[in-house]
Amino acid sequence: MGQFRPESTRPYNTNVNFFQSISSLNTPSSYDIVFLMYTTDLEAQQVLVRLYTLFVAISILLYDHMATLPEEIMFIWRRPKAMSAVLFLINRYVAVLGNMLDLMSNFLPVSAKSCSRYLLAVHMLRLFQQVFICLTLTLRTYALYGCSKRLLKWMLIMGVVLIAASAVGAFGPNLTKSAIDNGHCHEIYTTATSFRHGTTWVAMFIYELLIFVLTVSGTWKARGSPRLISRRDILDVIFEDGVMYFAGMALVNLPNILTYFCDSVIVTGSLNAFTTCMSVTLISRLMLNLHGCVDTGIFSTPAETSSHVLTTEVDVEFEDSSPDP
């Protein structure tokens, strides 16, 4: 056996020309730009798999954007810009910006320092998207429970705790490696760092599970109220979309979480962009469906405009009961 040498002095494997060694770097500690000769093949395959899933994720995001553009114009752009509409636009267009930046960073020629900054920006946008979606779901649940400030307080406390855990996982020291290949910037994960990245997605899943339980409970209680019998259409939308969102995210996020804890380095983190895009797509559909029922969107309460609807029903019954001329 040959004498052990530090990684920085090991010879580069020229048979796999995917990562280039970088010397004399002054970059943030969170993004250590290095290469490891004995894992070059695996890291190259990891980057390739991640690029494939990134292409698929962006394609789905853009396709859904175009498919729902008529509804967006009708329910968002042509109506008064309520707070729910503003949140919808921020969620949808920041997602497009963040994922396009993620894609561009893999192909645009960048320096070593720029590569670390690109990856930091991508991570911040990705975390922002997830936090923003959780905030949107929180406001939706808050309105569903009749604007209960007590419920909102406990949800925000739990949300802050989970966001703090997610931030530690996303921006902790020496957490992510990046590699330069012909001037292109690639993000790579190792077994040692993937665990903390996985905890970020676990925290998000726990919060979405909480939202799902509260949504089912809230709609079930509202259905049993005779006073809200006329609002069953909006309650059906809230319940069905809530179930659809959680089921869709469970099918996508659970495999994503498993990639961080499995032994295969190749698939580690390969589904993070796909999970983010699916989350944005599903929440956009949910918000559009609500705006199709009422202008207030996610801020609509079960009791909202119920008196108006009941009055309309009474008027119809009165007209039907009147004698024919």
Q: 219 near 238, Cβ under 8 Å? A: yes
What's the CA angle centered on 193, arms 201 and 113, to 5 degrees? 100
Q: How many CA atoms lie within 13 A of 182 on its CB side?
A: 6
In a domain, residue 6? The reply is no
In a domain, residue 100? The reply is yes
With cut-offs at 50, 70 and 90, classify the pLDDT of residue 39.
very low
Q: For the chain, how many residues are written? A: 325
In a domain, residue 34? The reply is no
pLDDT tens per residue, range 273-291: 899 999 999 999 988 888 8
The span from the first CA to the last CA of the chain, in angstroms, equals 107
Sign of CA dihedral 261, 264, 266, 271: negative
- Centroid of chain to Cα 67: 20
In a domain, residue 279? The reply is yes
With cut-offs at 50, 70 and 90, classify the pLDDT of residue 306.
very low
Looking at per-residue confidence, does 266 or 247 come out higher?
247
Q: 142 near 148, Cβ under 8 Å? A: yes
In a domain, residue 107? The reply is yes
pLDDT for residue 122: 82
In a domain, residue 28? The reply is no
Domain of residue 281, residue span: 45-299
In a domain, residue 220? The reply is yes
Could you give the number of structural domains in the chain? 1
What percentage of the chain has pLDDT greater than the value 90? 18
CATH number for the domain harbouring residue 123: 1.20.1070
C-alpha–C-alpha distance, residues 101 and 115, integer Å: 12
State the residue for tokens 């990562």.
19
pLDDT tens per residue, range 111-151: 777 777 887 888 888 888 888 998 888 988 888 888 888 99
* CA distance readout (Å), 182 to 18, 22, 45, 185: 8, 12, 16, 9
User: With 80 as the cut, is the pLDDT of residue 187 above it?
Assistant: no
